[in-house]
Structure 1
Amino acid sequence: MKNPFQRSYSAEETSIFNFLSGIKIFETLTDDEKVSFLPYLYLRKYKQDEVVFFRKDPSHALYIIKRGKVSISFDIGDNLEILNQIGSGHSFGNNACIADTNRFYNAIVTSVDADLYVIPHVNIMDIFSAQPKIKAKVLASLTEMYDEYTKQLFASYRSSRGFFSLDLLYTTF
């Protein structure tokens, strides 16, 4: 039997909640917690080769790909090295969930067009201030993601037989 005091959501809201459940940083949030993000979930259309952000830009927003593809790249001199190509159901610019950060890679749309949900950093911080439980869950998911990235980095280092110097990685800790 359904709780008569439990909030009910529209079909559109439920659809967005289901979509967000597939995004790592939102997967542990309940619908009642995800609803806090709805007023700040802006759908923006991008065209092929449009830059979402550049490396070193301030982390002003979190992006979620609803439709299309985005290339994650790193600039080395005048060249861009593609790190990954991501599509629907992936987020990027996740460091917008952390105060005072800058981008450490470039994000460029590679499909003919793309629909991206954009959640501004300022709104994420407002939600975190008002709802520490949401902050804890999102940051725990973000920590899991960064842990996985670190494992992949070390695995790559082992397989490349040390073609880059890991001592540079820990100079700031």
Structure 2
Amino acid sequence: MRNPFQRSFTDEELGLINFLSTFQLFEQLTAKEKSAFFSYLYLRKYKEDEVVFFRKDPSHALYLVKKGRVALLIDEEQDFETLNIISTGQSFGNNSLLVKTQRPYSSVVRSTEAELYVIPHVNIQDIFASNPQIKAKMLASLGEVYDAYLQDLFHVYRSAKGFFNLNQVSANI
């Protein structure tokens, strides 16, 4: 029996809830908690080779890939190296959940077109301020994402036989 006081969602809202559920950052949230983001999800379309953001830009938004592929690039002077290709169902710009951060990499669309949901940092912080439970769950998920990344980094380091000095990486841990 359905609780008459429980909020019901439209088909469109259920679609957004299912979409958000595919991202690790949102998977711990209830449907009601996910709905707090509905009015802040801005669908933006990008063309191939369009820059989403540059390294060292302020982290003003979280990006959720609805369609397409986006390359995350690290630059060294004039050279760019691809760190990762992000595609449908993945997020990037995750450090926008934190306060006063900068982008550690650049991002460029690598498919003919891409559709990205953009959630502005200011709106994320507003949700966090009024919903500490959402903040705690999402920051715990962010911690899991960063922990997995660190585990992968150490695995690659061990298998690469130390081609870089690990104490340079860990100086800020």
Superposition TM-score, scaled by structure 2 size: 0.98
Q: Deviations over 1:80-121 (max 9, x none)?
A: 101111111000000000000000011100000110000000
| Partner amino acid, structure 1, of 2:171 | T
Partner of 2:77: 77
Q: CA deviation at 1:73?
A: 1.0
C-alpha RMSD of the superposition: 0.7
Q: Are 1:120 and 2:130 an aligned pair?
A: no
**What residue is the counterpart of 1:167 in the other structure?**
167
Gaps of 5+ in 2: none
In 2: Cα distance, 1:14 partner to 1:37 partner: 13
**Corresponding residue number in structure 2 for 1:40:** 40
Q: Percent sequence identity over matched residues?
A: 56
| Cα separation, 2, equivalents of 1:43 and 1:108 | 17
CA drift at 1:159: 0.6
Q: Which amino acid aligns with 1:137?
A: K
Q: Which residue of 1 aligns with 2:105?
A: 105
- Residues paired across the two proteins, number: 173
> What SS is found at the alignment partner of 1:16?
helix
Q: How does 1:1-150 map to 2 (within 5 A)?
A: 1-150=1-150
- In structure 1, runs of 5+ residues without a counterpart are none
- The amino acid that maps onto 1:44 is R
Taking structure 1 as the reference length, the TM-score comes to: 0.98
Match of 2:171, SS state, is coil
Deviation at 1:172, TM superposition (A): 2.5
